[in-house]
Structure 1
Amino acid sequence: MEWDWSFAWAILPRLMDGAKTTVLATFLGFFLGAVIGLFIALARRSRQQWLAKSVGFGADFIRGTPLLVQLYILFFVLPSAGIVLSPLTAGIIGLGLHNSTYIAEVYRAGIESISRGQWEAARACNLSMAQTWRHIILPQAIPPMIPALSNYLIAMFKETPLLSAITVYEIMGQALAIAGKTYRYIEPITMVGAFFLIVSLGCAYLTRLLERHTRIIQ
């Protein structure tokens, strides 16, 4: 089967519609994961052992089960409990919740890289906890986090094809629908592969620029 340019151009608008869904799910899922991950990281540092241990157990449970299983639970199992989510909403929650457990470890490593002396110096200067975090801890902790966070963003982007399992027509779902109807796989699958490659390389390049920028600021 040879490449058909006319067919490729004909299916491009439909693939672009799927690409918009892919990008939307990725960034909303990453935002959700970043927020939940911060809560997990802070909770696991809590002096309240019941909170630290319960959140830690929950994070380990989520991290230890496949994302696909979690998507099925959100979309197919929760309705039996009266909780009905749209496919895209379930997909975003699934991506965010699953990856939050990994993002939490990035936060934890970044925070724990700050020496105890920094905290003690902040207390000696009578800085409040908010001032300590804003002026002392975060400016030092965030730059080392950037490469790892960008890696999880790219990984989440490449996980979005799993959303087709719960009827989210992101770019891979659109490609499979086209291929199933026309029996032509080479054009849609190749175009999807090129899309993921271009976006991933672009994100990696922007990450390097951001790293250089933060180094200059420091």
Structure 2
Amino acid sequence: MTWDWGVVSDFMPSFWDGLWVTLRALLFGSLIAFGLGLVWALAQRSRHAWVRWPVNAVTEFIRNTPLLVQLFFLFYVLPEWGPSWSPLVTGVIGLGLHYSTYTAEVYRAGIDGVPVGQWEAATALSMPRVRTWTAIILPQAIRRVVPALGNYVIAMLKDSPMIAMIGALDMLGEARTFSNNTFTSETYLVVGVAFIVIAYPASLLIRALERRLARTS
């Protein structure tokens, strides 16, 4: 195959459109995953079985079914019952919901890692339960799990091309459309390099953050 820079030049406008879709899906999907994951983790520690059991069942179901199946369900099946969203919004919700079940486990591990003495001290001081969580437990737990949460952001980035299957053209979706229309393949290498350029510095940042937290803990 002969490399054609003209093809790359023609593809770049579509590439920037796809990059913007990828970054939005990653940003908002991460926000949903982090927020909802914390809700799942707290609900799983509820004193009430009627809260714990449904949450455990839902998170296990989501965690053990493929992301692509979930995206198809949200985009093609769910609208028959009511809610209907654009491909990008559906992709964001699907990514966030799927990864929230993994971040819930990360939060759970962080909460379990808080020394028992912290709970006992809060009890001895008669601190309200909400105050115990917000002022003592969660700050320590979240500090412990920041690097792991960052790793899931990178994992979400690598899974983001799946949203193209429901019409949200991310970088890979734009590359595939352009390649099919022009019978070229340079676009795939451009997208592959773009993923490396985004993911590798992010992984270095996470490692640096992990070392920093380890030194200050």
Normalising by the smaller structure, the TM-score range is: over 0.9
**Partner of residue 85, structure 1:** 85
**Partner of residue 187, structure 2:** 188
How does the TM-score come out when normalised to structure 1?
0.94
2:145 maps to 1:160: no
**Partner of residue 139, structure 2:** 139
Gaps of 5+ in 2: none
The code of the aligned residue for 2:205 comes to L
Measure, in 1, the Cα distance between the counterparts of 2:57 and 2:133: 26
**Partner of residue 201, structure 2:** 202
How does the TM-score come out when normalised to structure 2?
0.94
Percent of aligned pairs with the same residue? 44
Deviation at 1:217, TM superposition (A): 4.4
1:15-54 to structure 2, matched below 5 A, reads: 15-54=15-54
Please, which moves more after superposition, 126-135 or 17-26? 126-135
Measure, in 2, the Cα distance between the counterparts of 1:175 and 1:113: 44
**Partner of residue 71, structure 2:** 71
**Partner of residue 96, structure 1:** 96
The code of the aligned residue for 1:20 comes to W
1:121-136 to structure 2, matched below 5 A, reads: 121-136=121-136
Measure, in 2, the Cα distance between the counterparts of 1:96 and 1:142: 18
The code of the aligned residue for 2:82 comes to G
The code of the aligned residue for 1:55 comes to V
**Partner of residue 14, structure 1:** 14
The code of the aligned residue for 1:176 comes to R
Gaps of 5+ in 1: none
SS in 2 for 1:168: coil
Measure, in 1, the Cα distance between the counterparts of 2:77 and 2:136: 45
CA RMSD of aligned residues (A): 1.5
